[in-house]
Structure 1
Amino acid sequence: MAMINTGDIRLHVQRMPPKSGRPAVATAVLVHGMLTDSLASYYFTLAPAFAKSGIDVVTYDLRGHGRSERPNSGYTLDYNLNDLDALLDRLNVTGPVHLVGNSYGGTVAFSYAVRRPDRVASLSVIESSPATPEWAANLGVGMRQWAARMEKDEAAVLDWITVHRGHHKARQAKRAAQLVQATTIVRDVPASRVLTEDQIRSVRCPALFIYGGESSLVEQSAWLESLLPDYRSIVVPGHEHSVLIEAPRAVGTHVLSLIHEVAKAAALGVSQPGTDAQ
C-alpha cells in the first residue's frame, strides 16, 4: 500500500509491476466506479492478469473512496481529472498510459483523454459513457434518489442488499452512505463540467467500449461510432452494469488485446488508425 500526496489530496495507490521482472511493455491505469466501488474491484479482477502479461499496473482509490482522503467538498469531474494528472506526475509516469475505466471511472478516463491526449495511448471504457449533459442529468437523479432512500431508512435498504446481494455489497453500501452524508458528492458530480460533441470527437486514440448485453448503455454505441475515429465495441451477453465483476475474464481478454496491440504498434513506430491528426 502507498499513499501519494498530490499536493491537494492524499490518494491510496497500489502498483503491480510485471510479474516477469522484465521492463513493462506498457503502463495501464485502472479507474474504478463511484460510491460503492474502490480499487479492490480491479485488484481481484483485471490487475493480476495484466501484470502477468507484462504490464505495469497502477490502481488507485478516487478521492473520498477506499483508503484515499475524504475531503468535505470537491467532487466534480475536474477534481478527479486533476488528481489523475498529479498522480501520474508523482509516480514519474512519463509516457502515454492505457486508461481503463469502469462506470464513473470510464467517464473520468474519457474526460482525461480529452484534456490530456498526449498522456493517453488507449481507452478502455467499461459500462460507461462520456460526460454529456444527459449523463449529468441522469446521474443526478439516480444519486439523489439513492441518497433519499438511505436517509429515509438506511437499515431497511442495507437489510435488502444483504439478503439479495450479500454482506459484502451491504458493507460497500454503508460506506457509500457515509461518503454521501459527510460530503457534497451528490451535488458536485452532477454539476460537473460536461463535454461538447466536438470535444468527444477530439479523442483520437483507440477507444474500446465494453457493454453488458442487457445494459441500456449499448444504445449509445452507434452515436459514439459516428464521432470517434477509432471506436471499438464489445457486448458481453447476459450481463448488465456489473459486467466487470461478473465476467472479468471476458472483459480482461478484450482490454489486454487492445493494450498489447497499441503497445506493439508504438514499439514498431506504427501509427494507430485515427491518430494521424495528433
Structure 2
Amino acid sequence: MSYVTTQDGTEIFYKDWGPKDAQPIVFHHGWPLSSDDWDAQMLFFLANGFRVVAHDRRGHGRSAQVPTGHDMDHYASDAAAVTDHLNLKNAVHIGHSTGGGEVARYVAQHGIPKGRVAKAVLVASVPPIMLKTDRYPGGLTIDVFDGFRSALSANRAQFFRDVASGPFYGFNRPEAKVSDAVVDNWWRQGMTGSALAHYAGIKAFSETDQTDDLKAMTVPTLVMQGDDDQIVPYKNAAVLQAELLPDATLKVYPGYSHGMLTVNADVLNADLLAFIRS
C-alpha cells in the first residue's frame, strides 16, 4: 500500500497504476467515499494506455483519520502532495461531486501555478456552491445540510444505506433497476472512513464558495451532469460552472443520476476518453 505524508503529517493513501511515462489521469472521489469509487474508470483508462492515479481524501478510505483539515484547502493541498510526490505532469484531473470541488481548488491554486495540469473534468460537482446565498439564490437552504448532519450523527450506517439505495443512484425512481451490489459497495466505502471527517465534510462541500476557483481554471474543462441528479441540482451546478469557467464544454445527460459514473460507466467513459484525446 502506498502513502504520502503531507506537510501537516497526514498520511494519504494513493493508487498509481500503469506506465510511468504515459499521460496521467488523476481521479478525485466524492463524499463520503474513497478512491475505490473510480474502479470502472481506472480499469478502463488503464486498458487504454493511461497512467491512472487516485487517492483517499483525509479521513476517508485508507487515509489517516485525522481530527482536523476537513476543508477544501486541505483537500487540495493533500492532492498536491500526491501529484508532487509522483511528479505528475500534463495530467487530466477528474472530480466527482465533492471531488469536483477538490479539483477546482487544486487546479486553480496548485496545478496551474505549477504547470502540472492539461485538462480537467467536473462530474456532478458541487462548485460554485451548494448553499443558498445572496450571490447564488438558487442553492439549497441550510436546513438541508443540517438534516444531513443530524442523520449522520444519529445513525451513520442507516443514513449511508438510505442515500445509496435512494437518491444517489436514482434507485428511488419507479423505473429504476436497483443493484444491491452497488449499494453495498457505496456503504462499504463510506463506513471505512471517519465519522468526524464525514460530518465536517458536509460544511466543506456545501458552504465553500468556489467562484474564484472556477474563474481561474483556464485549462479546457469538461462539465458533465445528469438532469435527474437528486444530490446536486444541475441548474445550480453544471450550468453555472459552464458560465464561470474560461474554457468549458457542458454535457448534460437526460435522466442520469448523481452516481452516473458507476451505473452509466460505459457512456461516461467513452465521453471522457473522447474529451481527453481531443
Mapped partners of 2:237, 2:27: distance in 1: 23
What is the alpha-carbon distance in structure 2 between the residues aligned to residue 80 and residue 72 of structure 1?
A: 14
Letter in 2 for 1:103: S
**Residue of structure 2 equivalent to 1:194:** 209
What whole-Å deviation, never above 9, does each CA across 1:54-85 have from its counterpart, x for those lacking one?
A: 11111111101110111012101000111111
SS at 2:126's partner residue?
A: coil
- The structural deviation recorded for 1:135 is 7.3
Cα offsets for 1:169-207 (capped at 9, x unmatched): 44445445xx2347762575268653345x522321111
Map of 2:10 onto structure 1: 9
Alpha-carbon distance in 2 for matches of 1:247, 1:182: 28
Q: Percent identity?
A: 22
Distance 1:162 1:119 in 2: 34
Contact 2:157 2:187 in 1 (8 A): no
Q: Are the aligned partners of 1:9 and 1:69 in contact in 2 as well (CA < 8 Å)?
A: yes
Secondary structure of 2:76's aligned partner: helix
Question: Structure 2 vs 1, CA of residues 148 and 28 (structure 1 numbering), >3 Å: closer, same or farther?
Answer: same
Q: 2:276 aligns with which of 240, 259, 268?
A: 259
What residue is the counterpart of 1:267 in the other structure? none
Q: Radius of gyration: which is bigger?
A: 1
User: Is 2:112 the partner of 1:110?
Assistant: no
* Structure 2: distance between partners of 1:183 and 1:173: 9
Alignment of 1:205-220 (within 5 A): 205-215=219-229, 216-220=233-237
Give the CA RMSD over aligned residues.
Answer: 3.0
Q: 2:116 aligns to what?
A: 119
Contact 2:28 2:54 in 1 (8 A): yes
SS in structure 2 at match of 1:134 = coil
Q: Provide structure 2 residue ranges, at least 5 long, that are not aligned to the other structure.
A: 134-138, 167-179
Where 1:67 maps in the other structure, the secondary structure is: coil
> How does the TM-score come out when normalised to structure 1?
0.77
Letter in 2 for 1:6: T
Q: Is the alpha carbon distance of 1:257 and 1:125 closer, same or farther for their aligned partners in structure 2, counting shifts above 3 Å?
A: same
Unmatched 5+ residue regions in structure 1?
262-278
**Alpha-carbon distance in 2 for matches of 1:88, 1:139:** 35
Report how many residues are paired: 251
Q: Does structure 1 residue 236 correspond to structure 2 residue 257?
A: no
Decide which moves more: 204-213 or 182-191: 182-191
Alpha-carbon separation, structure 1, partners of 2:72 and 2:248 = 23
Cα shift at 1:88: 1.2
Question: CA offsets, 1:212-242, max 9 Å, x none?
Answer: 1312214544433333232112222322111
Does 2:226 correspond to 1:225? no
Q: Measure the CA separation in 2 of the matches of 1:225 and 1:109.
A: 15
Paired with 2:55 and 2:141, the residues of 1 have a C-alpha distance of 23
After superposition, where does 1:1-278 map in structure 2 within 5 Å? 1-7=1-7, 8-18=9-19, 23-24=21-22, 26-35=23-32, 37-43=33-39, 45-93=40-88, 95-116=89-110, 117=112, 118-132=115-129, 134=131, 138=140, 141-153=143-155, 157=159, 166-175=183-192, 179-181=194-196, 185-186=200-201, 189=204, 194-197=209-212, 199-215=213-229, 216-261=233-278
What is the SS of the residue equivalent to 1:204? Answer: coil
Measured after TM superposition, the shift of residue 143 of structure 1 is: 4.3
Query: Residues 232-272 of structure 1: CA distance to partner in whole angstroms, max 9, x if unpaired?
Result: 122223221111111111111111112122xxxxxxxxxxx
Aligned residue for 1:233, secondary structure, equals: strand
Instruction: Name the stretch that deviates more: 213-222 or 113-122.
Output: 213-222
